[in-house]
Amino acid sequence: MDYQEFLNSKHVVALADGITVQDSDIHPSLFPFQRDMTRWALRKGRSAIFADTGLGKTRIQLEWARLLGQKTLIIAPLSVARQTIREGKKIDIEVKLVRSQDDVDSDICITNYEMIKHFDAGAFGAVALDESSLLKALSGKTRKLLTEMFADTQYRLCCTATPAPNDYVELGNHAHFLGICTQAEMLAMFFVNANKEHTFVYGGRAYHRKGSNKGGQEWRLKHHAEEAFFSWLASWSVTLTKPSDLGYSDDVFVLPPLNVYPTFVPVEYTPDDRLFFTHMRGIKDQAAIRRKTMPARLEELEALVDGSEEQWIIWCGLNEESTAVTKALTDAIEVKGNNSPEYKAQTFEEFQDGKHRILVTKSKIGGFGMNFQNAHKMVFFGLSHSWESWYQAIRRQWRYMQEYPVDVYVIIADIEAEIYQNIMRKDAMAARLRSEMVKRLKGYEKGELGMTVPLKDDYTEDTVRGEGWLAMLGDSCTRLKELGKDSVDMSVYSPPFADLFTYTASEHDLGNSRNWDEFFEHYKFIIQEVLRVTKPGRLTCVHTSDIPAMANKDGYIGIRDFPGAVIEAYQDEGWTFVGRILIGKNPQAQAIRVKSKALLFVQMRKDSTSSRPALVDHVLLFKKPGDNAVPVTPVDNGEMNNELWIKWAHGIWTDIQETNTLQFNPARGAGDEKHICPLQLETIERCIKLYSNPGEVVLTPFGGIGSEGYQAVRFKRKAILIELKRSYFDVLIKNMRKIEMESRTLDLFSVSGIKVPEGGMTSAAVAS
């Protein structure tokens, strides 16, 4: 595999593993966007369709199952199952409702989530999850069973409404079920832990969020991972809020007006444990308020609903509310959690057919998947903080093909107004985020659906020369090829430590590797080129360190032997490993910098088995095979004596000042996930003086902000620096021009016989 082929393989996408069909194979009742999505899902083999209510997910799902020609099991909420059977009849597809494997005698069968343990997954060639957002709501045990049962099923499809754009748990559950990757792998690739309070930018707009204070974990997209994430997401899912999102005609798919009418019922309420009410204190307080204010709210509800001849849905949150509402209203029928599945399904169907005027239930019972567009009025008899319950309940009526404006009434106590305001705030934020998500996905999804989309590549190159130095902007694997064979006397550098999307979004970035193997597959191209340009018998000095292993990324908490892996990689490419220098680190400073609990005093006192030593730096020394034509003689060069040799050749350097680096703050971009950690100047100095002569060429294939080149020029060598990131390259150029100017000054005073202090002249000294 050549280098360009390797870069192409780094693009994080889900590959197609399905079948190809023609438009003429698909039922003519499907709209153009539905046909294209069906063809795409069949071609992919394993995919998700995130489409808003009323956009025809059921028909797409049924056509997908029919055209595969496999024995297919559709899993859905029971109330939705009968609805799917009715929809199938409209396009001549027979779907059988089954409750166990013994009932399976049809090509396309449907069951509910609660019954999956009664089936043999190996008997089916395809599985589809209807209302797959329920993956998040299912118990961990059921979700795990579902994922493991169908892990070997060749064809898998998930269908649900557009997920909340910042609900990464839901996306991770889908990716895991489909076999794209585990949720942990998704988080490791594209996200960082965002437990702390922070402000994040999405689509050019700033959002502020408080982190979890309950020990849970919240995640946000790595800044440089945004494009890669949306490209990856579009490779296995289609997100659609309306056909025109992807350039199709909206035609009949236009939502009617949505009218929300809040009623804040004035009530006098005093908590049992307080002298007067100040604010709500959690779920128990909210439930108590709803119970005590129920009579006043019932009066408002009766006045609103009993005088109407329209069909209504009344969404309740408490069992007491549901019972009281059903008794108070004329022609009301109640669906409760303890009703049999058959009763729930039958009652919902009867409401759809107009046999009941008022349906009273909870959003968690009837708020997912059902099509209740036969009605266009609803009441929230009380409200929770769950935006998803609010959104899903509304979409039962407010959906495409609804002929009338949808009226949503909210009846809550005036002291609960903050809940309503919170829901409205979440709703507005979700709408903005969803709009941005669709906009970001559009280009990638058009490409997936076979439309022409221009490819985007931000990779650029540049070259800047100075006195004794050459700086090259670009990919080391590419730009090293411009250097002649056996033209470099030594190299010194620190490679990225396998951190994905930490500093750039480019696939040229060595750090942007999905895993350990891909990192070293990329790294070998650089190792090979450095070997080619290095003179025989000469050295390269590679600065490395062990890497902490993290549970969400590596599956365990411990240490990864990065230096050992680098040694193996260099030896595989023909280098000879000749030595290692260890550089001691301050454990307290490291604990603060990397936020490691294992280095804290409190962990040592709590349980020292979970403590560890500070991670020391390793400078690994490799020699290119062959005889060195020009001996390196640091003593003759005046840069070394026996005493200094003993100190530097000790193999353990404990006197390197960790803070003695070039200034790096100007180089750090707003999207960088980690601070720049330039190599200490003393470390570079020792490597250069030990393994090169003045006037020789020193190379760094990871130029960063120019530390290695800076020291090379400072100590009378020539420098070649290669750096991929523009913001770093710009600072590198400034640092190289600075040392170039200082070197001129040093040379001027040296010729004049004036002794100049090491480090250059101060402005006062020059003036004197």
CA angle 503, 508, 510 (to 5 degrees): 60
Helix axes 516-533, 562-572, angle to 10 degrees: 50
Question: How many Å apart are CA 44 and CA 30, to the nearest integer?
Answer: 19
Q: Within 10 A of 450 (CB to CB), how many other CB atoms are there?
A: 11
pLDDT of residue 225: 79
Report which of 58, 52, 48 is spatially closest to residue 80, judged by C-alpha positions: 58
- For the residues of 512-565, what is the DSSP string, one character each? --SSHHHHHHHHHHHHHHHHHHBPTT-EEEEEEE-EEE-HHHHSSSEEE-HHHH
CA 151 distance to own-chain centroid: 23
CATH number of 3-180+236-246: 3.40.50.300
With b meaning 16 or more CB within 10 Å and e meaning fewer, what string describes 565-589? Answer: bbbebbeebebeeeeebebebebee
For residue 295, the model assigns a pLDDT of 92
Beta-carbon neighbour count of residue 391 at 10 Å?
21
CA 156 to CA 412: how far, in whole Å?
A: 43
Q: DSSP character for 1?
A: -
How many other β-carbons are positioned within 10 Å of the β-carbon of residue 237?
24
Contacts for 511 with CB less than 8 Å, ≥ 6 apart: 496, 497, 498, 499, 500, 501, 502, 503, 504, 519
The rounded Cα 63 to chain-centroid distance in angstroms is 32
Q: Residue 142: helix, strand or coil by DSSP? A: helix
Phi then psi for 226, rounded to 5 degrees? -60, -50
Q: Which class would CATH give 258-448?
A: alpha beta
Q: What is the pLDDT of residues 632-651, one digit of tens each?
A: 999 999 999 999 998 998 88
DSSP code, position 210: P
pTM: 0.71
What is the share, in percent, of the chain residues with pLDDT greater than 70?
A: 84
> CB of 56 within 8 A of CB of 31?
yes
User: Does residue 248 sit in helix, strand or coil?
Assistant: coil
Residue 505 near residue 512, CB atoms below 8 Å: yes
- CATH fold match for the domains 3-180+236-246 and 258-448: yes
Q: What is the pLDDT of residue 552?
A: 63
Q: How far is Cα 164 from Cα 469, in angstroms, rounded to an integer? A: 52
Q: Which two tokens stand for residue 558?
A: 């411990």
Question: Bridge partners of 158?
Answer: 48, 129
pLDDT single digits (tens) 592-630: 566 677 777 777 778 777 777 778 999 999 999 999 999
d(CA 104, CA 110): 9
* Amino acid symbol at 114: E
Low-confidence ranges of the chain (pLDDT < 50): 196-216, 452-455, 667, 670, 751-768
* Matching residue, tokens 């055209």: 67
For the chain, the structural domain boundaries read 3-180+236-246, 258-448, 462-767
Q: Does CATH place domain 462-767 in 1.10.10.10?
A: no
pLDDT of residue 499: 65
pLDDT at 138: 67
**What are the strands, taking DSSP E only, across 281-396?**
312-316, 332-334, 358-362, 377-381
